[in-house]
């Protein structure tokens, strides 16, 4: 595959990555905000419970404690959701890194193959002719690689 094709395929595959990352990070920020709001609500309920515990009936105390427990449960759910989002985000980035590593290895293998083909061509075409100097061969190889990268 030509050098430009590797780059083109990779760029196509990561085209939506920044959007997906932004979306996931925004969702995590939203979960953080909702958790902070709930924690403030829990503090308010706990303060209310502590300040009026003596004057509340048993049912009222239980109802207030139940509200506090439900709010803590919701905070835990938000935390779990955030962990899931973080794991998805990590896996998404890791998948693109693995693909880049694979494409890079293929690209390097293709370059080596082309260099071997080029050196085989150079050695067969120099029979019966004056052999080129090392400097000329190196210049030819470099210009060949630049052409491939275009």
Instruction: Give which of 71, 63, 85 is closest to 34, Cα–Cα.
Output: 71
pLDDT in tens, 85-124: 999 999 999 998 998 898 888 888 888 888 888 887 666 6
Confidence check: pLDDT of 146 > 60: no
- Number of domains composing the chain: 1
Instruction: Report d(CA 119, CA 137) in Å as an integer.
Output: 9
Instruction: Report d(CA 139, CA 33) in Å as an integer.
Output: 60
In a domain, 50, yes or no: yes
Instruction: Report d(CA 124, CA 127) in Å as an integer.
Output: 6
Average pLDDT over residues 44-72: 95
In a domain, 95, yes or no: yes
Confidence check: pLDDT of 149 > 70: no
Cα angle, residue 129 at apex, residues 126 and 131 outer, rounded to 5°: 60
Handedness of CA 18, 24, 25, 29 (dihedral sign): positive
Tokens 């690689």 locate to 145
In a domain, 43, yes or no: yes
Predicted pLDDT at 133: 56
In a domain, 135, yes or no: no
In a domain, 149, yes or no: no
In a domain, 27, yes or no: yes
State the alpha helices, DSSP H only, in the chain.
Answer: 3-13, 17-51, 58-125, 134-149
In a domain, 134, yes or no: no
Confidence check: pLDDT of 128 > 60: no
Q: What is the mean pLDDT of the chain?
A: 83
Average pLDDT over residues 31-43: 98
Instruction: Report d(CA 23, CA 21) in Å as an integer.
Output: 5
User: What CATH number does residue 123 fall under?
Assistant: 1.20.120
Give the domain extent around 7. 3-127
In a domain, 150, yes or no: no
């Amino acid at each position: 595959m030509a050098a430009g094709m590797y780059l083109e395929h990779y760029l196509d595959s990561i085209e939506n990555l920044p959007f997906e990352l932004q979306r996931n990070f925004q969702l995590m920020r939203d979960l953080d905000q909702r958790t902070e709001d709930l924690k403030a609500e829990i503090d308010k309920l706990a303060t209310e419970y502590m300040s009026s515990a003596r004057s509340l009936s048993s049912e009222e105390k239980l109802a207030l404690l139940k509200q506090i427990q439900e709010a803590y449960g919701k905070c835990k759910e938000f935390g779990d959701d955030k962990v899931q989002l973080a794991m998805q985000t990590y896996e998404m980035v890791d998948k693109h890194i693995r693909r880049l590593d694979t494409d890079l290895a293929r690209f390097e293998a293709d370059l080596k193959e082309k260099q071997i083909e080029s050196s085989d061509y150079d050695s067969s075409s120099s029979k019966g002719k004056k052999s080129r100097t090392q400097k000329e061969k190196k210049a030819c190889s470099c210009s060949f690689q630049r052409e491939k990268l275009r």
